[in-house]
Amino acid sequence: MIAIINYKLGNLGSVFNMVKKAGGIPIITCDHQEILKAQKIILPGVGHFDAGMKAIYESGLKEILYRKAVEEKTPLLGICLGMQLLTEGSEEGNLPGLGWIQGYAKRFSFPESLNLKVPQMGWNTVRVSHPCPLTQDFDQEYRFYFVHSYCVTVNSQENSMLKTMHGIEFDSGIQKENIYGVQFHPEKSHRFGLKLLKNFIHL
């Protein structure tokens, strides 16, 4: 069973449907007992960094997620804002992140001459920077759907799983042991997202 965490900030229905299509058994929940029984966890997210952390604190999810992901080593996948929350923090807010992967999110900033839009919205390719089970069988054609204004840089390249170029090269996928994060939306990325979620299910 895969627990999709409901803290009111995510494309829950789309993630549920894609996980089910990939062969998983998903539930959408914020119930602590259901989360404790889960074999895997997905932390989706869309919106403001501080709003996400505040919701996690106020719902008591921080302690439950720490127990599952850090202590019990349950595979966890953060998506979009959910990935940024795994890091130490973001320029977007003042609250500290979960801090499970050392890194930080900063807003895209480009010279006008580059004519690049913020947020990055649309399809972009990824490059595998650190092979792992989640990126099994990825090739140079793998592309995903992005919607974000802030990008993560990890402190150690050992924690960089995928990289993407949008004016600058940033970490579009991060990993530390059983904890994974992706900046893009696999639930909106057709066969590419389906493959990533199948890999997650079979970890």
Question: pLDDT per residue over 61-92, tens digit each?
Answer: 999 999 999 999 999 999 999 999 999 999 99
Question: pLDDT per residue over 175-193, tens digit each?
Answer: 999 999 999 999 999 999 9
Catalytic annotation on 80?
yes
pLDDT averaged over every residue in the chain = 96
Note the Cα 72 to chain centre separation in Å.
19
In 22-142, where does DSSP find H-type helix? 32-37, 49-58, 61-65, 81-84
Whether the predicted model's global pTM rises above the 0.75 cut: yes
112 pLDDT above the threshold of 80:
no
- Pick the catalytic residue from 34, 72, 80, 169: 80
- Pick the catalytic residue from 30, 148, 166, 185: 185
- Pick the catalytic residue from 92, 151, 166, 187: 187
Catalytic annotation on 185?
yes
Catalytic annotation on 202?
no
Residue 135: the pLDDT is 95
List of domains in the chain: 2-201 (3.40.50.880)
Question: pLDDT per residue over 33-56, tens digit each?
Answer: 999 999 999 999 999 999 999 999
